[in-house]
Structure 1
Amino acid sequence: MLKKHFCIALIYLLSFGAVKAQSTDANMGIIPAPVSVTKGVGEFVLSQETVIAADSLDNKAVQFFISYLKDKEALRNPVKANNGNQGNNLIVLTSVGTDGLAPEGYRLTVTPQRITVAGKGTGLFYGIRSLMQLFPPEHGATIKLPCVEIEDYPRFGYRGLHLDVCRHFFGVEFVKKYIDLMASYKLNTFHWHLTDDQGWRIEIKKYPKLTQVGGMRAQTLLGSYRAKGAQYDGIPYSGFYTQDEIREVIKYAADRYITIIPEIEMPGHALAAIAAYPELSCDPERTYKVAETWGVFDDVFCPSEKTFSFLQDVLTEVIDLFPSKYIHIGGDECPKEAWKKSAFCQQLIKKLKLKDEHGLQSYFIQRMEKFVNAKGRSIIGWDEILEGGLAPNATVMSWRGEEGGIAAAKQNHNVIMTPSSNGLYFDHLQGPRNIEPLSIGGFAPYPKVYNYNPVPAVLSADQQKYILGVQANLWTEYIATEDKVEYMVLPRMMALAETAWSPLAKKDIKDFDLRLPKHFAWLDEHGYNYRVSKAIGAVDTLTIGSKLTVDLKPPVVGAKIYYTLDGYKPNENTLLYEHPFAVDIPEGESRELQTIVITPTGHQSLTSRTVMTNRPLMPAVTFEANTPGAKYKMVSGSFTEAAQLDDAPVIDSGVTKTFNTGSFRKNKAYGVIFSGYIRIDNDGKYLFSSRAGDGSVLMIDDQLILENSAKNADVRDGGEVLLKKGTHKFTLKYFNTTNRAAALHIYMQAPGKPKGELSAETIYN
């Protein structure tokens, strides 16, 4: 039967070209979708004779647009002050008539005679950005723009994107490029994660060892930190921003109407600082080093007067640099072991009459908040700052699901939603783990980002007002290069932008998909390393039939689609898709269509794989026992693949009603073979998938269905099989690769039903 790694691909129902998109798309190709779009008749022809008239030529939004046009070799537009006179062949940039617009709102009007962009400050800039998105990908000395009237404003005032530069460092020029991307899609807040266990990345004049010592680690972990037998590269790793560089980036962002919020982690994620200044720890006699691997560490700031003095000095310099209202102080993932062992901390808990170490963390956060408030600023913290009591004026960034944000809003505290489980962690996978770059795990394709609503329905109307906005985070444990940053961010950042900006009623994933190809073409032209979508119409699936119909469209304007029907992977040397076609499949045979997209600059999509079979479903086997539960054999050994379990020594056996591997963990190196029979209720296609922290293999009737044997957690690969109604043999092999009690979950999706988790109780022996 078929071995298959499964990924649900989007089915695109509309064909698309750059011109056709603007004529059929209700949002004129603009991302994020505007509040109101009214199409007009005709077009405006922009040429070298077109005059730009602006209220103020010194306005930074105006200067940005003038610079943008100058970069286009065919255009050299004259610029003049706007005197209010009517005229033809004008682009008018003005604040006149904008009194009724919402904050950051704009009005864009295109007629055959003139273009008017009206907005105040940021609104004018965003109106210009939308105008730029109306430009066709390719043009010469003239640009034809469709007539339209757009009135637009954001749903949320906070629209954020985060970048961790501690695990891996990215220089000033790349940070500027990142900010440019944000500005292109109307995101307005850059969360700059500057300190962590693996590196301190901001110069602090009073404490030079923070960057001299804390800014360098001796080496870096290779591969997943969950894997058994950790290996390191042996290469020193360093990097930090001088204060002058920080100022340069702040100005660059401000010129694009983006606020930068710095994050200085406390009281946890502090190992780099403690390595530089051990007296900040609860055990200053120890020798510390900057973390060389990932995860959470027990070494945290000690809540002593020395530590508070140090952090106040640090934040004083940070606040002097950053004009933002908010300072992010972290507050997440702070283990309490060091505090539990510290006589000083235990005495402090008693002295302050605190309940426990969670109360001590609350005391720590509240004390730092008072200092930040005294400087005229406010703090943001991850949702752990709720534990032990929330600081009086704190804003909560809810990342461990929505619960923290809901709790904070109910306490009348401002909230920024960034739940990792809702697609907003851009370090998570965009597709099957076996074909995606190494990732921390999770699953967050861009439709998941797009479909997220940051306002929980459980909140009352008054409580919902405390949801300031939404943010996505990019943690860089497994992102060492600029190209990979771009791959992980694009196109998910565009989905984030529409979630943050567009009215809920305007969101439509099919329309969003219709607009993407033009934006992909823009990314391609400008050299971004985005994740190329598969061909429109290509679906990773196993299906039944006698005729395979192939009807595809490129997901990027100007891209080519190559395909194979012989089981080999496609590339630029295989068949070029030029028009729809059909393949007849003789009875008893199968055909496999594989496709790949290659863009004009050589970027490639992942390979899609569609298998159609014209043969009978796998027949049921004869089996009459009705005892629920799977048989198991626990074997001893260190394994790298499932086949090794068959000949390993058996150390335990029996019947179980759970696939919970924690109950089998008697050795550090072990494997388990589950076996039995599964009942299939109806003829059809069944999808099996798994989520595991270690290796797992599933076989139905001795045929391999899915195989997850790599050293990575949170696996979500799957396989499909065509089954006849009745009983089928079930074999599940699991082996430990991480020396920890990892979870094992098996899922099945039956025809016409949602995916559900299989329990060992549903297996019979």
Structure 2
Amino acid sequence: LEIDDEVINIVGSDNAGVFYAMQSVLNLMPAATQGSASLPQLELEDSPRYGWRGMHYDNGRNFHGKEAMFKLVEQMARYKMNKLHWHFSEDEGWRLEIPGLPELTEVGGYRCFDLEERTCLLTQLGTGPFKTGSGNGYLKREEFVELLKYAKDRHIQIIPEVEGPGHARASIKAMEARYHNMLEQAEKAAKNNIKTGSAKQEIQQVDMGPATQYLLTDPKDTSVYMTVQNYKDNSMNVCMDSTYAFLDKVTYELQQMYREAGVQLKNLHIGGDEVGAGSWIGSPVCQALFAEPSNGVSGPADLKPYFTQRVATLLEKRGISPGIWEDGIMYDRENSFKRDEFPNKTFTVNTWDNIWEWGVADRAYRLANAGYQVVLSHGTHLYFDHPYEASPEERGYYWATRYTDTKKTFNYMPDDVYANADYTRTREPIVNLEALVGRPLPKLEKPENILGMQGQVWSETIRTEDQVLAMIFPRILSVAERAWHKAEWEGENVDTKKQAKDWAEFSSAVGLKELEKLAQDGINLHLPVPGAVIENGTLKANTAFNYLSIEYSLDNGKNWQLYADPISVENDANVALRSRLNSQQTSRITYVN
């Protein structure tokens, strides 16, 4: 990129490179640019650190509407991110219309009060008793094709995730509803044809093949299990051929949508995580599979590898590379499925479980060394369903870490996973990681298998578009920064002075330009609350982002004044504080006294 007095000259190695250079030009412009802008003269040569610069978005738990997805894609493009991992199927919902399987969205796309779950899934996550409640809905086929085209124009690849074999309750219940609907239709047809004899006897002669074609559960399965999320009926039966017929049908329809949009479905994520221990043990279909030596399945421990191999082979025949969450590819805490048993040249794994004291934080390197292609997705720094700060006023879970703010994500070091081990979940400093884990930690032998990194947002606690955008923005900017650029301060021995200087420059750019640009584009933001103290009758305040305005109130929020410099207050003052953007967005209110 060259900018001089007369011309802006852009040269890229491909269309995406030219597009990213254009974003660099736009990034130089102030937030309030209207009509014209003064740009600095410069000569810039740039390229991305990683080929995978992604964001994972779950709207399976709660659907936030079509516009939320388009806004996310638009802003990802502005910050040169190129992978949107779309988690549209979950226990709590299925969010994409699939031709030929209307129950997936008619039943799986909604939660309401229906004990039989023939018209909707049982209500949860605050939806309420009616289909009009929060979190319900789905993308129509034509809307997804439109989104694919929109993403293609912005050099973003959308990677769909069809969860299995666990986390599949929505698809399971939808296919059970399909089964019962077809049974009822067959029974009605039989009754219409009966002139003599029992309708029940006649129905037994009806071909039930169509009804069971995509069934995901064995009605005679007596297995008992309980998942982390307290489900006991969310595992697809991996021993039934109809399970793979269902997955192939969904994959086929996805391919048609991608082809209509003029793009290729290159990657499909198959989930694989958090399967309930004990699934399928009581299934007669699985017992029959165990009894047939030629299947290579001798007992329950072989079932997850069997499922993964069958789905990976199915995808390979369609020219698609599979992806999976890390625990979906593991026999146990340390040993992964054998890489050479899969026919796929590329098999991506999202490594998320770096909760240091749980003892499996080395899986990113273990899996890369074993030949899998790894996308760093670590819970301690890259999960945006966690609070921005350790406060009960903040939305989010805290199973991986008590908080993750924009600065913490900015300080993530993808080239040295172990260097990120700072605190345990209870905020105890980590002094000796190997001692905490309890065994030697492997080194990374195949760095070429680390494809990149991505942020994650899960939506159990997130019901609306405004809420989900605020959980993503501005933290996603730190993912974009680290995935594109390696900082000078990164390494086993962090240069804290350079790190502080780098953060000061980054946070200033965010506070001065980026927050306002995002707000102008209709993005609801999470603004950090001010920090403040009262010392000797003087109020001192600041914010995490330089140039972000601070307001204070001395009458419990009735009147607000702009804070510019330390001010004198009464000794017994109770001061309300908030940060504000010019666009009228404000942070939540905090108090100091």
| TM-score (normalised: structure 1) | 0.58
Partner of 1:196: 90
1:514 correspondence with 2:508: yes
How many angstroms apart in 1 are the aligned matches of 2:278 and 2:318? 32
Q: Report the Cα offset of residue 231 of structure 1.
A: 7.6
Q: Could you tell me how far 1:593 is from its partner in structure 2?
A: 5.0
Structure 2 contact 362–442 (Cα < 8 Å) conserved: no
Quote the residue 2:201 is aligned against.
none
> Is residue 313 of structure 1 aligned with residue 249 of structure 2?
yes
Please tell me whether residue 471 in structure 1 is matched to residue 454 in structure 2.
yes
Partner of 1:431: 389
Tell me which residue corresponds to 2:275.
334
Using a 3 Å threshold, how does the CA distance of structure 1 residues 355 and 383 change in structure 2: closer, same or farther? farther
Higher Cα Rg, which structure: 1
Q: C-alpha displacement at 1:316, in angstroms? A: 1.7
Q: Deviations over 1:453-508 (max 9, x none)?
A: 22335665642221101111111111111100111011101011111111132762
Q: State whether residues 550 and 581 of structure 1, in contact with CA within 8 Å, keep that contact through their aligned partners in structure 2.
A: yes
Name the one with the larger strand percent.
1
SS at match of 2:41: strand
Cα drift, residue 610 of structure 1: 4.8
- The answer to whether 1:207 aligns with 2:101 is yes
The secondary structure found in structure 1 opposite 2:246 is helix
Provide, for residues 362-394 of structure 1, a one-character-per-residue CA deviation record: whole Å limited to 9, x for no partner: 110111101101111110001122223255242
Matches within 5 A, 1:251-266: 251-266=149-164
- How far apart are 1:174 and its partner, in Å? 2.6
Deviation at 1:285, TM superposition (A): 6.5
- How many pairs are equivalent? 477
In structure 2, the residue matched to 1:407 is 366
Give the AA of the match of 2:540.
V
CA distance in 2, matches of 1:500, 1:211: 35
Give, as a single letter, the amino acid of the residue that structure 1 aligns with 2:353.
Answer: R
In the TM superposition, residue 250 of structure 1 has moved relative to its aligned partner by 0.6
Tell whether the 8 Å contact from 2:65 to 2:465 is kept in structure 1 after alignment.
no
Return the match for 2:585 from 603, 607, 623.
603
- Structure 1 residues 281-430: aligned runs within 5 Å: 281-284=216-219, 296-303=231-238, 304-322=240-258, 323-351=264-292, 352-354=295-297, 356-388=299-331, 389-390=337-338, 392=342, 393=344, 394-401=347-354, 402-420=361-379, 422-430=380-388
Change (3 A) 1:217 1:468: same
3-state DSSP class of the match of 1:118? coil
CA distance in 2, matches of 1:605, 1:407: 42
Structure 1: 5+ residue runs without aligned partners?
A: 1-107, 221-228, 287-292, 612-765
Q: Deviation string for 1:511-562 (max 9, x for gaps)?
A: 2112111111212333321011234xx34x6x8x6464636579475x6432
Of 184-193 and 353-362, deviating more is: 353-362
Q: Partners in 1 of 2:504 and 2:413 — Cα distance? A: 17
Mapping 1:22-421, distance limit 5 Å:
108-119=1-12, 120-218=14-112, 233-236=128-131, 238-278=136-176, 279=212, 280-284=215-219, 296-303=231-238, 304-322=240-258, 323-351=264-292, 352-354=295-297, 356-388=299-331, 389-390=337-338, 392=342, 393=344, 394-401=347-354, 402-420=361-379
1:732 alignment counterpart: none
Matched residues in 2 for 1:383 and 1:554: separation?
34
Distance 1:470 1:297, change over 3 A: farther
Amino acid aligned to 2:287: Q
CA distance in 2, matches of 1:572, 1:112: 51
SS in 1 for 2:480: helix
Distance 1:299 1:267 in 2: 8
Q: Is the 8 A contact 1:551 1:581 kept in 2?
A: no
**Sequence identity (%):** 30
Alignment root-mean-square deviation, CA = 3.0
Pairing of 1:545-564 with structure 2 (within 5 A) = 546=536, 548=538, 550=540, 552=542, 555=545, 560-564=549-553
Which secondary structure state, in structure 2, belongs to the residue aligned with residue 138 of structure 1?
coil
Q: Distance in 2 between matches of 1:213 and 1:584?
A: 60
**What whole-Å deviation, never above 9, does each CA across 1:198-217 have from its counterpart, x for those lacking one?**
12222222322222222222
Letter in 2 for 1:483: D
CA contact (8 A) 2:272 2:329 kept: no
Aligned to 2:429: none
Q: How many Å separate the matches in 2 of 1:231 and 1:482?
A: 15
For the structure 1 residues 189 and 459, does the alpha-carbon distance in structure 2 shift closer, same or farther, using more than 3 Å as the test?
A: farther
Q: How far is 1:591 from its partner? A: 6.4
> Taking structure 1 as reference, are residues 149 and 219 closer, same or farther at Cα in structure 2, changes over 3 Å only?
farther
Per-residue deviation, 1:123:
0.6
Letter in 2 for 1:503: K
Q: Does 1:481 align with 2:464?
A: yes
Secondary structure of the 1:397 match is strand
Secondary structure of the residue aligned to 2:504 is: helix
2:349 & 2:108 partners in 1: Cα distance? 28
Paired residues of 1:521 and 1:556 also in contact (CA < 8 A): no
- Whichever residue aligns with residue 381 of structure 2, its letter is G
Deviation of 1:149 (Å): 1.9
Paired letter, 1:489: I
- How far did 1:594 drift? 4.3
Whole-Å Cα distance in 2 between the matches of residues 209 and 282 of structure 1?
Answer: 16
User: Counterparts of 1:478 and 1:410 in 2: how far apart (Å)?
Assistant: 36
Distance in 2 separating the partners of 1:549 and 1:231: 40
Supply the distance in 2 between the matched residues of 1:552 and 1:123 (Cα, whole angstroms): 38
Change (3 A) 1:296 1:121: farther
- Supply the distance in 1 between the matched residues of 2:232 and 2:325 (Cα, whole angstroms): 17
Give the secondary-structure state (helix, strand or coil) at the position aligned to 1:465. Answer: helix
After superposition, the Cα gap between the structure-2 partners of 1:435 and 1:371, relative to the gap in structure 1 and judged at 3 Å, is: same
User: Which is worse superposed, 410-419 or 108-117?
Assistant: 108-117
Q: Partners in 2 of 1:268 and 1:376 — Cα distance? A: 24
Contact 2:49–2:484 at 8 Å: present in 1 too?
A: yes
> What amino acid sits opposite 2:253 in the alignment?
E
Structure 1 residues 404, 357: closer, same or farther in 2, change over 3 A? farther
The residue that corresponds to 1:525 in the other structure is 520
Q: Residues 156 and 446 (structure 1 numbering): CA distance in 2 closer, same or farther, change over 3 Å?
A: same
Indicate the SS of the match to 1:500: helix
State how far apart, in whole Å, the 2-side matches of 1:282 and 1:138 are: 57
Q: How far did 1:575 drift?
A: 3.9
Give 1:577 deviation, angstroms.
2.1
Q: Which amino acid aligns with 2:274?
A: E
What secondary structure is seen at the aligned counterpart in 2 of 1:505? coil
SS at match of 1:468: strand
Worse-matched range after superposition: 376-385 or 344-353: 344-353
Q: CA deviation at 1:572?
A: 6.3
SS across alignment from 1:235: coil
Whether the 8 Å contact between 1:546 and 1:584 is mirrored in structure 2 is no
Distance 2:83 2:125 in 1: 37
Q: Distance in 2 between matches of 1:516 and 1:416?
A: 26
Change (3 A) 1:113 1:547: same
User: 1:465–1:459: structure 2 CA closer, same or farther, 3 Å change rule?
Assistant: farther
Q: Tell me the residue number matched to 2:406.
A: 446
Go from structure 1 to structure 2 and tell me whether the alpha carbon gap of 1:181 and 1:298 turns closer, same or farther (over 3 Å shift). Answer: same
Q: Distance in 1 between matches of 2:309 and 2:522?
A: 45
Supply the AA of the counterpart residue of 1:342: S
